[in-house]
Structure 1
C-alpha cells in the first residue's frame, strides 16, 4: 500500500560523523527498521493499540531487539519522538527583523505539522495525554520543549533588537508563536497558504508587542 513517507524523511535526521562498519552497520539498520516500524504502526493503529509485538513484526526483528534498546513501549515512543523532534526543529535564521523571524518560525511549523501522516500521530498523542497524565508530562518535555526553545530564540532576538519589550510575558509570547498555527493545521484543517501565513505573521507581531 502506497503511504506518505515524509515522516520517514523526518526520522532520518542529521548525517553521521563517520560511516559505521562491521557490527555497527547491523545495529544501526535494526534501530532504523524499528524506528520506521514504530511510526508506521503509530500512525495506522494509534498508541493505545500499538504493541511491541506489532512493531517487531513490522520491523522484521525479534522483540528482544526492541527490549535491548528500550524497557517499554512508552520508553520507545518517547525516545524516538524526542529524537525526531530535536533533529527537525532547526534554528530559525536571523532575518534581521521580528516579522521575518516570526514568518520563518511559522514556515518551520508548517514543514513539520502540515503533513497528514504527522497530523494523525499528533492527534493520537494529544488524545493519549488526556488518558495518561504521566505520558502527557513526558510528551510535553520531549515534543513541546524543543519547539518552545526554538520560539524562545525568536523572542530573544526581538528583545535584543529593541523590537520587543524586555519585560515581555515569555510564556504568552511562546503561545502566540506556536498555538494559532498548530490549531489550524491539526484541528481546523483550513488552508495554510502564503497569504494566510503573511496575515498570521502580522497578527502575531502585533500581539507580541503588547504581550
Structure 2
C-alpha cells in the first residue's frame, strides 16, 4: 500500500491532494536511479520501489519516465545558485567557479550529467530541459556578475554575458563532465584570473 492511501476525510482534489513528502521522495529516487542505472534502464517500477511508494503514486504525478526526468532536471534551474557579490570581478568569478566545480564533482552529478547529455543528443525534450537547468540558470548568475563589474568600471558596457559564461564555466564542464579529469591545485584561481583578463581585453565591437 503506498503512502498516499490514507487520505484525510475531505481530501482536496487534483494537485492539492499530492503529499509533498511523497513527491520529494519520488524526485530523490529519480536522481538515484539516474545515477545508478541511467535514463535508458530507469523505470517507473524501480523509481516507485526506491521511493517506497506504489506505482500509482508516481503515475498520478507523471504519465511516464520522460516527464519525470524533465521535471526533475528542470527543477535544478528553479533552485539555482545565488550570484556572488564579493566586490570585485575576480572574486565573483572565483566564487562562481568554486561552487560550479563543487556541484560538478558531486558523485551523483558526475554520473547523471554524462548520461543525460548522451540522451539529449537523441531526445530534443531532454536537450531543452538540460539547456534550462544547466546553461540558462547559470547565465542569469553570469549576467549579474557582469552587471556589477560594469557598474564598478571593471568591464565595458558591451561585455558579452555569453562570452563571460563560456570563458568561466566552459573549461570546467570540459574537464569534469566530458573528459573527467581532476582539477590540479590552483586550477580554479588560474582559470578565474584568465577569465577576468580575457573579459577585460574583449570587446564585442571589435
TM-score normalised per structure 1 = 0.81
1:147-192, Cα deviation, whole Å (9 max, x unpaired) = 2211221111111111111112222222112211121111233332
Structural RMSD (CA): 2.2
**Secondary structure of 2:121's match?**
helix
Partner of 2:119: 128
Shift of 1:193: 5.2
- C-alpha distance in 2 between matches for 1:191 and 1:135: 27
CA distance 1:138–1:117, shift in 2 (3 Å)? closer
Asked whether 1:62 is paired with 2:63, we answer: no
Partner of 2:67: 75
CA distance 1:188–1:135, shift in 2 (3 Å)? closer
The answer (yes or no) to whether the contact 2:77–2:132 under 8 Å persists in 1 is no
Listed as ranges, the gaps of 5+ residues in structure 1 are: 1-21
The answer (yes or no) to whether the contact 1:95–1:101 under 8 Å persists in 2 is yes
**Secondary structure of 2:186's match?**
helix
- C-alpha distance in 2 between matches for 1:116 and 1:56: 22
**Secondary structure of 1:131's match?**
coil
Partner of 1:208: 199
Q: How many residues align?
A: 189
Asked whether 1:179 is paired with 2:170, we answer: yes
Q: Which moved more, 1:188-197 or 1:131-140?
A: 188-197
- C-alpha distance in 2 between matches for 1:192 and 1:158: 27
- C-alpha distance in 1 between matches for 2:104 and 2:77: 11
Partner of 1:170: 161
**Secondary structure of 1:95's match?**
coil
- C-alpha distance in 1 between matches for 2:135 and 2:65: 20
Shift of 1:194: 5.1
The answer (yes or no) to whether the contact 2:105–2:176 under 8 Å persists in 1 is yes
Partner of 1:100: 91
Shift of 1:29: 2.5
**Secondary structure of 1:126's match?**
helix
- C-alpha distance in 2 between matches for 1:156 and 1:66: 43
Equivalent positions of 1:149-168 (< 5 A) are 149-168=140-159
> Over alpha carbons, which structure has the higher Rg?
2
Listed as ranges, the gaps of 5+ residues in structure 2 are: 1-7
Shift of 1:85: 4.4
Partner of 1:43: 35
CA distance 1:193–1:153, shift in 2 (3 Å)? farther
Partner of 1:111: 102
1:42-97, Cα deviation, whole Å (9 max, x unpaired) = 1111111111121112212122211222233222112222224432x321331111
